[in-house]
Amino acid sequence: MRSSPPIDRLVESLKRLPGIGEKTATRLAFYLVGAADNQVQALANAIGRLKQEIVLCERCFDLTDHSPCQICLDPKREPGLLCVVEEPADLAAIEKSASFRGHYHVLGGAFAPIDGVGPDELRVRELLERVRGGEIQEVVLATNPNTEGDATAHYLADQLRESGVKLSRIAYGMPLGGDLEYADHVTVGLCIENRRGL
């Protein structure tokens, strides 16, 4: 511990955030101590208002400041195309790529039987109801490419198959600019297996 209790408290609070360890928390704390008062106050206000101003969209379950969210209200989006993701951060990553112009459904996680997370703990029922509504023509399963995400995608595919909608799964592959020699063997294998004709 340092000799200043206010800095110690801030470092301990920052370390609770995902991806922030002791070193980064300490660096952030000292940055904030030296920052302009209005900058620190703006950050504190934004954090303080966050839980009060953010709600779940009633349609897609993304985090938003109003419901339905901007994506669900966008008339330029393809109404028959639905992308299923685990978390709002996954939706944000896809939106950042600007590669998808349909709508979304946020499950709220992935299957994790050891942690007691199954279909009843996720928004699977809401997804099935949405697809059965008749407007959806294709469902893109964009769960993470790991054991939990794959299990979730397989379960959803089984549940959705009888609905008659087209089902697809995001492809695995090399990042743009990636070198084969630095990729893990599973990624390289999937790149070869999922190759396209030219």
pLDDT digits (tens, 9 = 90+) for 77-91: 999 999 999 999 999
In CATH, what is the architecture of 5-53?
A: Orthogonal Bundle (1.10)
The Cα–Cα gap between 44 and 63 comes to 20
On the question of pLDDT at 32 being above 70, the answer is: yes
Count of CB atoms situated within 10 Å of the CB of 1: 8
Q: State the pLDDT at residue 192.
A: 66
Amino acid occupying residue 180: L
CATH topology of domain 77-169: Dna Topoisomerase Vi A Subunit; Chain: A, domain 2 (3.40.1360)
Give pLDDT, residue 145. Answer: 85
**Is the pTM value of this prediction over 0.85?**
no
Tokens 């922030």 label which residue?
A: 20
129-141: average pLDDT: 94
Residue with more model confidence, 171 or 132: 132
Place 172 in a pLDDT band, splitting at 50, 70 and 90.
confident
> In the prediction, which pLDDT does 107 show?
98
Flag the least confident range among 99-108, 133-142, 183-192: 183-192
Judge residue 122's burial from the number of C-beta atoms within 10 Å of its C-beta, 0-12 exposed, 13-18 middle, 19 or more buried.
buried
The domain spans of the chain are: 5-53, 77-169
Mean pLDDT, rounded, of the chain: 90
Contact 82, 57 (CB under 8 A): no
> Are the C-beta atoms of 143 and 149 separated by less than 8 Å?
yes
